[in-house]
Each structure stands twice: as C-alpha cells, then as structure tokens.
Structure 1
Amino acid sequence: MKLNTSNNNTGKMIVIHGDHFSSLEGFYEEVSNVLMKDTDWKVGTLDGFDDILYGGFGIFENKEEIEIIWKESQKSKEDLGLKATQEFYKNKIRHGKPFNIELAQQKLNDLLEGKGQTLFGILIEIIESHTNITLTLD
C-alpha cells in the first residue's frame, strides 16, 4: 500500500466515501461521481475503472499526480469481500459469453480455496498499478 505521509499539495486529492456504497455497482457510481463529474461517461467495469485512472478525460490530466483517500475503507473491504466476489464470478459464469467462463471458474475456485483476490483487493491493485496515484486507506 502506497501511503502519502507528506503534505504534498502539488496534486489533486480525491475522496472515495465507502459509506456511500455497499456493492461493486455502488462503487462504480461513487467513482463516476467523483472522478468523472461533468462528463457523460460512467464507470461500469473493472477495466473501465482502470481506464479512468489514466486520466485525461475526467477531473485530472494524464499522468497528473493525485492522491485518492478511500474513507470507510474497512467497510468497503467487507462489502466487496468474499461473498460479493463469489457472486461476481458466479454471475459471469451464469451469463456466459462474452465472459471467459473458464477464467471466471478458475478465479472462483481460487477464491474458495482461500488464495484468490476479493473485489476490494482487485480494486486496490488497479489503483496501485498507476504510479501517479497515491492511495490512502482511511
């Protein structure tokens, strides 16, 4: 976890409020409201979330230094934990194409064996893959 310990005011500070949502769809709505305000585009997938973090078409520019503070992150960790993640993969398997059923089943199996990532972990990993973003879990 990259934590911002200095008072560097050179970039933008963005706050995600975990108490504003309790599902992945709610998370997408929250980040759309926070990161994409005044645009017609809304986040609706994990890939879409990753895309907006590159910047350039929301509230920050491409490669601009930003800090994301995720308030009530412990609540989000529970809300987007094991149960929600199992349901996420089961829905993909049930839906079928265009989803990769085999991959979804493998991810579900990994999760059931205690070695897979929850949705919360996946979202954290996506954020941390962007070197211009500092994440603080609050």
Structure 2
Amino acid sequence: MTTTTSLPAASPPQTLMIDGANIRDIASFYDEINRVFMVGEDWQLGASLDGLDDMLYGGYGVLRGKSPAIVVWQQMDSSRIALGVEATRAYYLAKLEQPQVFKPGPIQAALARLGQGGPTYFDLVMQVFADHPNITLRSADR
C-alpha cells in the first residue's frame, strides 16, 4: 500500500501598494512605508535603510514570517525624483552635522560619488528591495 501526503498549497503572495504621490522627500518615504508595511504594529520604522532592510526580512508588520509579497509602486518616477540627487545630498549633509554619530570620511566619499552620478537615495532603496527574494517590486508606471 502506497500512501501519498500532499503538502499544503502555498498561499499566494500578498500585494501591497506604495503610493508615490505621498513621497516628497526621505521623511515622507518612510511615512508611506509605515502606512503600507507596519499595519498592526504599535511602533513606526524610522528613516533608516538598515531598518527598511530589516523590515523586508519579514520580522514584523505585514511581512511577518517572511511571507512573499508583490509590491506595486505607483508613481515610481515621481518618487525617483523626490528621492533623487537633492534629497540625497541633504541626507548626507545632515549626517556630516553629526560627527559624533557618523564617520565623516565615508559620508564625504558618498557625496563625491553622488556628484559624479553615484547612487541616489532612491537607488539605495531599490538595492534594499532587490536584496529580498521574497519581495517582487513592480512599477505601476509601466
């Protein structure tokens, strides 16, 4: 007698929507991330790429347990502009004002790279999302 055991069907990935119209700068980007991802939590994610990375690993919020997700980013192109060179420069300059917290050398190097076409904050966010195979990021603009 042969017995077969079927595995439970995997649940389909949840679909989450980032509204780029709500993103005007780095602070409002995190407001939108909190609105979308931190449902059910009694705390908010701070403006931190490391925090974003940790959240996408699935430890809390709607991604608790590393559940797969499709993230559709509406008005991604306007977010790219909002998190572009100007916002990135302001982000690095603010860090330079806190030498007791941030080492100036790496920040000055990042500013120099930015001036030569290096990654913007938007590019850094895209890299964080790309590092998570359980997350599929799509632009609604295309």
- Mark yes or no: TM-score above 0.5: yes
Q: Could you tell me whether the CA contact under 8 Å between 2:55 and 2:63 is conserved in 1?
A: no
The corresponding residue for 1:59 is: 62
Is 1:133 the counterpart of 2:135 in the alignment?
Answer: yes
Structure 2 portions without partners, runs of 5+: 1-10
Structure 1 portions without partners, runs of 5+: 1-8
1:24-69 residue CA offsets vs partner (Å, 9 max, x unmatched): 1101111111100121221111111111101131112333111111
Please tell me the residue identity of whatever aligns with 1:82: V
Percent of counterpart pairs with the same letter?
33
Is 1:75 the counterpart of 2:78 in the alignment?
Answer: yes
The corresponding residue for 2:112 is: 109
Q: How does 1:85-124 map to 2 (within 5 A)?
A: 85-114=88-117, 116-124=118-126
Please tell me the residue identity of whatever aligns with 2:116: E
The corresponding residue for 1:13 is: 15
Alpha-carbon distance in structure 2 between the residues aligned to 1:40 and 1:96: 31
Alpha-carbon distance in structure 2 between the residues aligned to 1:92 and 1:39: 28
TM-score scaled by length of structure 2: 0.86
TM-score scaled by length of structure 1: 0.88
Structure showing greater radius of gyration is: 2
Matched residue SS, 2:58: coil
Shift of 1:10: 0.9
The corresponding residue for 1:41 is: 43
Shift of 1:95: 1.9
Please tell me the residue identity of whatever aligns with 1:121: D
Alpha-carbon distance in structure 1 between the residues aligned to 2:68 and 2:107: 34
Instruction: Give the aligned CA root-mean-square deviation in angstroms.
Output: 1.2
Please tell me the residue identity of whatever aligns with 2:139: L
Alpha-carbon distance in structure 1 between the residues aligned to 2:51 and 2:106: 19
Alpha-carbon distance in structure 2 between the residues aligned to 1:28 and 1:14: 15
Alpha-carbon distance in structure 2 between the residues aligned to 1:80 and 1:73: 10
Structure 1 runs (4+) deviating above 6 angstroms are none
Alpha-carbon distance in structure 2 between the residues aligned to 1:32 and 1:70: 14
Matched residue SS, 2:63: coil
Alpha-carbon distance in structure 2 between the residues aligned to 1:78 and 1:123: 13
